[in-house]
Structure 1
């Protein structure tokens, strides 16, 4: 019988685990890097419905894989120089920030289940969130208003962001929701090494030390140095708060997700646009991460989230170790490079512990495609021969 991971928040109410400030090691989609000016509290008049009929929408049924992260890893393998690990203790986790956010918030979640595929390949652990029955049904049953709300978030960004620091935003054109810029980070959470991609909204230009952005032709090292020192911000929209129960809901639910997303990307400032039910934003308000924690400490605590996230990574390694011993014997635990791909499916539902519910057939619906499996890791293996 596979072990289980319990999610009761009281179990994780200990001191904050060691978490290194995320380090930028790469980027994806530099042509889509954006900049924001005038990041401060003020009154505005943004109509988020502008050109909504011409918007290029992101497909609502897209069950996102980690393909772009895999391309980045393959293209930058020589530069990254990731060692070919042989034991689970040193195995590196690869995933997206969204998955880490969902996992970290689990002790406080009471509605949305999650499903995660774990793949151990050549000493590395890949994590990929997959749709649950509930999320599929929710996408299929989205109302027109819910679809609008989703698109309004992208349009809000267009009112604040521009292509160059000196340019003003230009919302008078349709939004392409598929354009995105991402950073690739690495960090350590206690003994776990993690490399993850995170979509970023834009850089705050209202700072004196921000230098001239590098060109698309600039060297990778120059670009990474610039991005590592750039003050990124997170842009959010929220309905106006008119009643005390709305304030309670905001502090209980939204603030923890905003905090976790930003903390994982080293972001200190969030800019929120308050809107009405018709998609009109008339107020901008900035939040610092420390303020979100203070205003919401009755409802959630950062240490609980990250202690659970740490235990989740430990749990993944424990489940993989059990699977390896069962199939290939104890000695294989220190010879990961010789093993075929090991897969597991982890699922969690509110009121239950995290459980292994099966294995994943990577051949039927590849998360790690052949072009990646056949090439990634060869450079480093050749180096140590």
Structure 2
């Protein structure tokens, strides 16, 4: 509901999302997503990202980047030093990690009370988050970790088959990431049959 109320102040994306109606129940199945292509070191990335809203003062069609888009978040009201500590150490690290790779420049946070009611909003520039949380986390280390993990995936995933599953695990308290080859185990397969037929079988037919 917070996103519905907040996004009603933003311009919607034509032909993609209908105007926000705060009188209607929230439909969690409706979202606007973009497919991004980027690079991280030696890795070429293609990924999908959900977009919450857009600043009408900056948005121009057709959009070639996400400089006008915003990410919406909520957080407990900052009533104690512990609340501020948790925001800087944990929440801002996640916000930066989510928005940096996509290219969304602004996070708008709604601060809520113990009843879950949002009483105030504050905009954070994604580029400024590392300086706020500099005592707790470093973006360069996060990028190094992601790059190393992607390199590890490339070494482990040797079978190019959408029905084959590889499981990557890391203990909750840290440590090395391990990879398990699960084969075509239906208990772990997550691609629905209709998706497999539409995407992979069609590609196979076109390549013939």
The correspondence of residues 41-80 of structure 1 with structure 2, limited to 5 A, is none
The structure having more radius of gyration, on CA atoms, is 1
Determine if the alignment matches structure 1 residue 183 to structure 2 residue 34. yes
Structure 2 CA distance, aligned partners of 1:259 and 1:308? 15
Classify 1:377/1:183 alpha carbon distance in 2 versus 1 (closer, same or farther; 3 Å).
Answer: farther
In the alignment, is the contact (CA less than 8 A) between 1:320 and 1:342 conserved in 2? no
In the alignment, is the contact (CA less than 8 A) between 2:164 and 2:184 conserved in 1? no
- What's 2:169 paired with? 347
More helix by share: 1
Classify 1:163/1:295 alpha carbon distance in 2 versus 1 (closer, same or farther; 3 Å).
Answer: closer
| Secondary structure at the counterpart of residue 375 of structure 1 | helix
Structure 1, gaps ≥5 residues long = 1-154, 214-224, 325-335
Structure 1 residue 286: Cα displacement? 0.6
In the alignment, is the contact (CA less than 8 A) between 1:345 and 1:360 conserved in 2? no
Structure 1 CA distance, aligned partners of 2:40 and 2:162? 27
- CA RMSD for the aligned pairs? 2.7
In the alignment, is the contact (CA less than 8 A) between 2:111 and 2:118 conserved in 1? yes
Larger relative contact order (Cα-Cα within 8 Å, sequence gap ≥ 6): 1
Q: How many residues align?
A: 198
Structure 1 CA distance, aligned partners of 2:63 and 2:102? 15
Structure 2, gaps ≥5 residues long = 13-17
Encode CA deviations 1:141-175: one digit per residue, 9 max, x unaligned: xxxxxxxxxxxxxx111112239839985423221
Classify 1:194/1:378 alpha carbon distance in 2 versus 1 (closer, same or farther; 3 Å).
Answer: farther
Determine if the alignment matches structure 1 residue 202 to structure 2 residue 75. no
Structure 1 CA distance, aligned partners of 2:98 and 2:176? 23
Determine if the alignment matches structure 1 residue 159 to structure 2 residue 5. yes
Structure 2 CA distance, aligned partners of 1:156 and 1:341? 38
Determine if the alignment matches structure 1 residue 375 to structure 2 residue 197. no
| Secondary structure at the counterpart of residue 318 of structure 1 | helix
Structure 1 CA distance, aligned partners of 2:132 and 2:80? 16
Structure 1 CA distance, aligned partners of 2:157 and 2:20? 48
Structure 2 counterpart of 1:256, from 90, 93, 101: 93
TM-score (norm 2): 0.83
Structure 1 residue 377: Cα displacement? 4.6
| Secondary structure at the counterpart of residue 228 of structure 1 | coil
Structure 1 CA distance, aligned partners of 2:135 and 2:162? 47
Structure 2 CA distance, aligned partners of 1:271 and 1:173? 23
Determine if the alignment matches structure 1 residue 303 to structure 2 residue 140. yes
TM-score (norm 1): 0.47
